[in-house]
Amino acid sequence: MQYHTLESKAESVNAEAESLGLEASFTPTTLLTKNEKPPFVAALGPALAEARPQLKAHFSHSPGVYRYQGVMQKVWRRGGWRGMVAKPFLKLVSRMEMLFAYTGEEIPFELINEVRRMPDGRLSMTWERLFYFPEGRQRFYAVMVYDPQRQLIIDYLGNQGQLEVELHTQICNEVVCVSSGRQWWRIGNWRLPFPKLLAGQAQVCEWQEGQDFCIRVVIQNPLLGRFFGYEGCFKFVGILF
């Protein structure tokens, strides 16, 4: 039998299970092999079931484009001389659509996730984060894929994937926690290790409050300490296609 989508296949399998008196608990992602699953499903495995239902769904999307909107209550940059040192760096990487130097409160926010199939069969998940500051829009773009050899998620940050970052994921009390690890700067065919003293180490927490998704991001560095971050909440708006 041919299925047009994984959803229709899951419905058929569940119907057959019910006819046999078995529990109908198949979802589109449970019918995928590990290399075919969205990055967070492959990385977290059964642990993802510990997250609350809507949060689990956010990280388990099948191929498509999904839109979220909300408000970042606070976007901050460290003060003092460390903040002054961080500001030129943030301005530089904003041209590559990574981080940015703007700060503020109650900043309108939009997130677009696209899950797409790569030539090797793996699913990638894009994260297009849009912050609407009074001074202008800032875009923070990344593509995440699961690497079965390294058994973790690889995050390609920037509009051309200039920065490659290993991501370590876990579920902590129903919260999806992500921390960055080793990093490489990508220039053409070159892949250069990024020194730890210069790298920005990210700590990200996402959780569910009612119908909202809430997020807290902190970027730190051995020399500058915690120098940038944002936090706020957003809601699922709909599927674009």
pLDDT in tens, 29-62: 444 555 679 999 999 999 999 999 999 999 999 9
Rounded CA separation 122/127 (Å): 16
- Classified by CATH at the fold level, domain 64-239 comes out as Lipocalin (2.40.128)
Identify any residues that bridge with 70 across adjacent strands, giving them in sequence order: 109, 234
What is the model's pTM?
A: 0.84
In this prediction, residue 34 carries a pLDDT of: 58
In this prediction, residue 26 carries a pLDDT of: 44
Indicate where the chain has its CATH 2.40.128.20 domain(s): 64-239
Ranges of H-type helices in the chain: 6-19, 39-44, 53-58, 80-94
Going from the C-alpha of 20 to that of each of 17, 27, 105, 201, the distances in angstroms are 5, 18, 55, 51
Identify any residues that bridge with 135 across adjacent strands, giving them in sequence order: none
pLDDT band at 229 (very low <50, low <70, confident <90, very high): very high
Average pLDDT of the chain is 88
Section 10-26 average pLDDT: 46
Rounded CA separation 187/206 (Å): 31
In this prediction, residue 30 carries a pLDDT of: 46
CA-based end-to-end distance of the chain: 25
pLDDT band at 188 (very low <50, low <70, confident <90, very high): confident
